[in-house]
Structure 1
Amino acid sequence: MFRPHRSRRTALALTGLVAAALALAGVPATATAAPAGSAPALRVDGNWIRDENGNGVTLQGVSVLAPEQNDLCEYCNSKPTSELIDLAADTAAGWNSDVVRLPVTEISSTTDLAAYDAQYIAPYVDQAVDLGIYLIIDLHLVRDYGDAAGAVPQSMVKRFWDYIAPIYGGTSNVIFEVFNEPINPANWNTWKDYIQPVVDSIRTTAPDTLLLMGSPQWSTMLNGALTNPVEDDNLAYVYHLYPNQGSPTEALLDSKFGNAAASIPVVITEFGWNPPGEFSDPITNGTTSNWGVPFREYIDAHPWIGWQAWILDNFWKPQMFDYDWNLMGGEFQGQFVKDWLAGEPNVSPCTVHEAVGASVQVSSVYQTYSGDNLTDGDCTNAGRWISAVGDTTPTATVSLAAAQDVSSVGVYSGYNGGSGVVLVDFTIEVHTSAGWQQAAAVTGNTQAARDVAVGVSGVDQIRLVVTNPSASTTEAKIARVYELAVRG
């Protein structure tokens, strides 16, 4: 596997020969051809994407918010798109993205494409060339396609690419994602008939640009390409994956895109998750432990599949930052994606945290499931603390090695295969030099992995007090807790 090398570029002037060729190809008079580029040109070879030296390339990166959406959130304290692209590529900051996906959202059949390009695309192509990274121009339509009322007519998609392709077709840093998420008709052959003329038109002015091809039903039907591929020799197929599609088991991912990726090139241009709450929705509800870790395990074992995580922002869900631009960790995706880009080990936040090895006192113990298990980093069934039958208020107190800031505590409870045995009602208390205080109260919990916000400085002890250990009507009313994961 090869990840592209990033380097700064010197100014690149378009040669007269290329300019003349673009003119002959019919570039609109308002369009100015972009620089030739600073990243190796990419080509499809079997199920791999390769650079000009034949190295297999795994495109790994993030999506940013569409620039034209950047001022719509009144509570996000929005950052400029250019700042987020710089961050995505910043190796010193630990992000290490090889590619950034730039959504294009406000496009219609009458959009002034020259003005749109000048404001929302061209500056970021220049920035990508400066940074030596790839930039995906993503026509971010999420609509039905075709001639039905309210659908996207083929002419609209073709109009956009007929303008954009001549400008950026000679820039090796640029990749075209032709149509983000067509929805209906939910038929691959119908989709191919719709999109093939668009691809053919792109190739008249951008013969070498890598294309990324979506599919109906929100880009989840790429298997149709196995028997009826889009006719093009430099095109990879897109899949979008979120937790609403199911637990990312090998069997599920094989069926969705993995088996296809053994013979055709595949890029996951959208995936993401956050725990249930304000930073997720029914599509993206998931946790790092139960969704992110197994998904990464699968993708790491299939290095020919590239990926771009959604989304390096704090507005559209599932966000990587909170509204104050703190990178969200624990069971939220932000820190996990950053660590993945940096090549850090694939570990659950249940097993690695700041209280591993801390001493624990508990109110009771069932058999050999002692309180020390709460801070041992073992999140298997054998590594749980279980309270004794008859303990009506199971309580555990963790003593930290030194006082520290605590942003959250991950409460991991239940057992594999169990139903209704996660902690239901509990509080988190913290001790500082001022004494004990309640930091959070949780009621009606149904999550096996629950990140509880704390936000207290100078904490030297943390206490879990359980008032309802289980919703089960058949299992014993005892607390079953894998880990209390303290996060600074």
Structure 2
Amino acid sequence: MKYLTFVIVALFFFCSVHGSARNNNWEPVKIHGQLQVKGHFLCNGQGDTISLRGVSLGWHNLWPRFYNKKAVKWLKDDWKCSVIRAAMGAYEGVEDGYLVNPEFALNCVETVVRASIKENVYVIIDWHAHDFYPELAKQFFASMARKYGKNPHIIYEIFNEPTHEHSWERIKKYAEEVIAEIRKYDPDNLIIVGTPSWDQHVDIVANNPIVGYENIMYSLHFYAASHKEELRSRVAKALEKDLPLFVTECAGMEHTGDGFLNIPEWEKWTDFLEKNRISWVNWSISNKNETCSMILPRGSYEGGWDTEVIKPAGQKSRELIRFYNTVDKVYENLR
């Protein structure tokens, strides 16, 4: 009877938020507080297992106009995101990236960070790179930790996607240096470490994880039309060895970010993540002419998007985020 009541209330609440004005009382950080890692699970301040679900903004240097407080507020209120990722491009040859124009990059990222703190939503500060820049990364994350580390909203992603050319031994050495720098100023906020081959060889990492630090997780990325059961099998092996995973980037199309949307495989992935209580972030809030970009070019940069300007990948992302975060919220209220 209790389960039936939960289902009825959850479905009623879900239908209500889908058919009515936004519920502006959704404050994930106020609900969960300081994040912590226990075993391979992400937990809230009370030690209960939770999942965060949200979206990533596109590269800051390509879509800087989405890096504003109104967009953050809309994603929190209307999409029901519990986490938003600020993808700061840090790569050689990237125009207006952090390596070329750090002042511009910091302005974009910090605008999102401050807005997320105000809106009580978790925010991932993402070093969006595919190669090693250890000294620059240490300087950047030390600065972020000094400024914002006292806030439980902050999550550090210290290396977006190491490529197939980067061994775990090298990634691990880099990560240990950056983690040590962050921990000088921020002793407890979550840190996410990149894994080999575009965040897919998590099973390799599980054999030799980083030790000596708490609240460390490892990133997993997938694109459902390309990455299927073989990758889920690797993930299962990593979980068997208690490796804490966080999907900081995923979507339903091919690994290029383009091509067709494989909705059944995307839903299979989502079911797998939910079953294993793995947090996930969908890619991306941008308006490029490709499948993974969620907003049409005529859509506002400041939120306020109706379904006419949200592309199919965005509509599906919004549907999944609203559903699972709503069910979680109702369940917590019933306990």
User: Normalised by the shorter chain, which TM-score bucket?
Assistant: 0.7 to 0.9
TM-score, reference length from structure 1: 0.53
Q: Distance in 2 between matches of 1:321 and 1:234?
A: 34
- Aligned in 2, Cα 1:159/1:316: closer, same or farther, shift over 3 Å? farther
Partner SS state of residue 180, structure 1: coil
Amino acid across the alignment from 2:263: S
Aligned to 2:305: none
Aligned runs of 1:57-456 on 2, under 5 Å? 57-70=50-63, 79=66, 81-90=68-77, 93=78, 95-105=79-89, 106-108=97-99, 112=102, 116-117=105-106, 119-143=107-131, 145=132, 152=133, 154-183=134-163, 185-231=165-211, 232-243=213-224, 245-246=226-227, 248-249=228-229, 252-262=230-240, 263-274=242-253, 282=256, 284-303=258-277, 305-315=278-288, 317=290, 318-325=292-299, 326-328=308-310, 332-343=312-323
Does residue 44 (structure 1) correspond to residue 37 (structure 2)? The answer is yes
Q: CA deviation at 1:142?
A: 2.2
Structure with the larger helix share: 2
Amino acid across the alignment from 1:272: A
Q: Which runs of 5+ in 2 are unaligned?
A: 1-24, 90-96, 300-307, 325-335
Structure with the larger strand share: 1
Q: Distance in 2 between matches of 1:116 and 1:39?
A: 29
TM-score, reference length from structure 2: 0.75
Amino acid across the alignment from 1:233: E
1:94-150: CA deviations, max 9, x gaps? x11000001111222x7656x743x2232222211221110000011123x3xxxxx
Aligned to 2:49: 56
Q: Which runs of 5+ in 1 are unaligned?
A: 10-36, 72-77, 146-151, 275-279, 345-488
Q: Is the 8 A contact 1:142 1:182 kept in 2?
A: yes
1:307-362: CA deviations, max 9, x gaps? 00001222274112222333456xx3222111111217xxxxxxxxxxxxxxxxxx
Q: Is the 8 A contact 1:61 1:97 kept in 2?
A: yes
Amino acid across the alignment from 1:315: K
Q: Distance in 2 between matches of 1:189 and 1:343?
A: 39
Q: Is the 8 A contact 2:223 2:255 kept in 1?
A: no
Q: Is the 8 A contact 2:37 2:215 kept in 1?
A: yes
Asked which structure has the greater CA Rg, the reply is 1
Equivalent pairs: percent with the same residue? 21
Larger RCO, structures 1/2 (Cα 8 Å, 6+ apart): 2
Q: Is the 8 A contact 2:53 2:81 kept in 1?
A: yes
- Aligned in 2, Cα 1:38/1:169: closer, same or farther, shift over 3 Å? farther
Q: Distance in 2 between matches of 1:68 and 1:284?
A: 20
1:175-202: CA deviations, max 9, x gaps? 0001111225332122212321221121
What root-mean-square deviation, in Å, do the aligned CA atoms of Structure 1 and Structure 2 show? 2.8
Matched length: 283
Partner SS state of residue 138, structure 2: helix
- Aligned in 2, Cα 1:8/1:133: closer, same or farther, shift over 3 Å? closer
